[in-house]
Amino acid sequence: MTNKDIPFDYYGWWRIIETSRWANEYIDILGTALISLTGYGDKLRLFALLAHVNCYPTKTGVSFTWEGAWEYDPVNGTGNVKLRKDGRLSGKIRIKGGDQSSFIAEKSEEPEASIPEPPSYRDKWRRKW
């Protein structure tokens, strides 16, 4: 197993169904809240966050760093997940210099439409109102 090999039980797409700290009714505001854990080109979509994910196996699960945009503002952070006995993931996501929340995710399929790239801060000023 190389550093990028994600354990089979964690590998793939996960539907984030709930967070402990943020208003769950807006969890899918940009589309289904998802995180991929494959070790290659992973993405995260949650609330108004679109991000690239770099994940790696640990002794207790999978940890990750992420970088993207919340709406148009650049943000980054870290996170980790552990597999629960019921087959769901229990995780934590942290925003660098900001908030953090735990979350629960269920195994999912890869979305039909790919998760968009995080917008650039410059795009904020190019929007047509």
- Using a cut of 0.95, tell me whether the model's pTM lies above it: no
Which pLDDT score, from 0 to 100, does residue 22 have?
A: 87
Q: Cα–Cα distance between 53 and 76 in angstroms, integer?
A: 10
pLDDT digits (tens, 9 = 90+) for 91-115: 999 999 999 999 999 999 999 999 9
CATH of domain 12-126: 2.40.128
128 — phi, psi (to 5°)?
-100, 120
> Which two structure tokens, joined as six digits, stand for 29?
């505001």
Which pLDDT score, from 0 to 100, does residue 4 have?
A: 67
In the DSSP assignment, the letter for residue 26 is: G
Name the more confident of 5 and 90. 90
Does the pLDDT at position 124 exceed 90?
no
- Percent residues over pLDDT 90 in the chain: 83
Which pLDDT score, from 0 to 100, does residue 121 have?
A: 74
What stretches of the chain show up as alpha helix (H) in DSSP? Answer: 121-126
Cα–Cα separations (whole angstroms), residue 11 to 42, 59, 63, 109, 127? 11, 15, 12, 11, 36
pLDDT digits (tens, 9 = 90+) for 26-81: 999 999 999 999 999 999 999 999 999 999 999 999 999 999 999 889 999 999 99
Which pLDDT score, from 0 to 100, does residue 1 have?
A: 43
Q: Which of 91, 84, 90 is nearest to 66 (CA)?
A: 91
Extents of the domains making up the chain: 12-126
